[in-house]
Structure 1
């Protein structure tokens, strides 16, 4: 190696190492003080929810979901161009019920799993990187539906009718009010 390249190689190596070390994980598994409960916090993939230890509740609730085929067929064209952001919590009973059902509905409607943005919150409804800021999250799960970057509406904590019917109302532009929208 030419003598002038050695210092350059050292600088590049140090820079790459610093970047790699500075990169923050997207989500973290946190063990709670009881020593047994594990909670996921931060931006996560749907796959992380269906893996241990979360699969103990995810899998049975996913398998129990039986979306009505006629509602799935009605949702398919309405999901075109829609972005979905999910704020959930692995410690939350409502998230444990609604999120697996949402995944089943979206899969049956042909919506790509990787397109769903999932942000998993702590008990304080926060994340280490503050991904929840600006979204006015009061309860989980909160499912926010967007088209062209504009929020269409959201399902908060539970569905009013059922998940598919609520999604149909939101995505077709029908009037829909979640239980916490008092405006």
Structure 2
């Protein structure tokens, strides 16, 4: 099952560093959301456009729709309480997590955390 809100709105013209971080090899994006959710309808289409611009293949984006009681696939396993939530993993290890409302858009928020994590790993 997929989320209509994960259809890109338009072409994304964001920062090159964001596209580079999102498009790094080995990253998997797990997206919890719902088409009935206002925050998801507002935030997920732009995030989907950013993933598309970064060249992230569809097989590395897992969509997990939730019902109005916020129940669905992986909710308990990943401790999902708010939507949208996006978990970024590499080799089954969590690299970054965006939960509902942060101070910046999903793509920029996650890209900064991915870059920070990779910089620490290289140090």
Whether TM-score is above 0.5 comes out as yes
Gaps of 5+ in 1: 1-43, 51-57, 175-183
Instruction: Quote how far apart the aligned CAs of 1:72 are.
Output: 4.2
**Aligned length in residues:** 117
Gaps of 5+ in 2: 118-123
Query: Which of residues 103, 110, 113 is equivalent to 2:55?
Result: 110
Instruction: Quote how far apart the aligned CAs of 1:82 are.
Output: 0.5
Corresponding residue of 2:26:
81
- Give the Cα separation in 2 of the matches to 1:103 and 1:96: 11
Instruction: Quote how far apart the aligned CAs of 1:69 are.
Output: 4.0
- Structure label with greater radius of gyration: 1
- Give the Cα separation in 1 of the matches to 2:83 and 2:22: 25
Instruction: Quote how far apart the aligned CAs of 1:164 are.
Output: 2.9
TM-score by length of 1: 0.56
Which structure is higher in RCO with an 8 Å CA cutoff and minimum separation 6? Answer: 2
- Give the Cα separation in 1 of the matches to 2:80 and 2:47: 18
Corresponding residue of 2:2:
45
Corresponding residue of 1:134:
77
Residue pair 1:67, 1:164 contacting (<8 A) in 2 also:
no
Corresponding residue of 2:89:
146
Q: Which runs of 4+ in 1 moved over 4 A?
A: none
From the superposition, tell whether residues 138 and 76 of structure 1 become closer, same or farther in structure 2 (CA, over 3 Å): closer
Corresponding residue of 2:106:
163
TM-score by length of 2: 0.80
From the superposition, tell whether residues 73 and 118 of structure 1 become closer, same or farther in structure 2 (CA, over 3 Å): closer
Residue pair 1:145, 1:151 contacting (<8 A) in 2 also:
yes
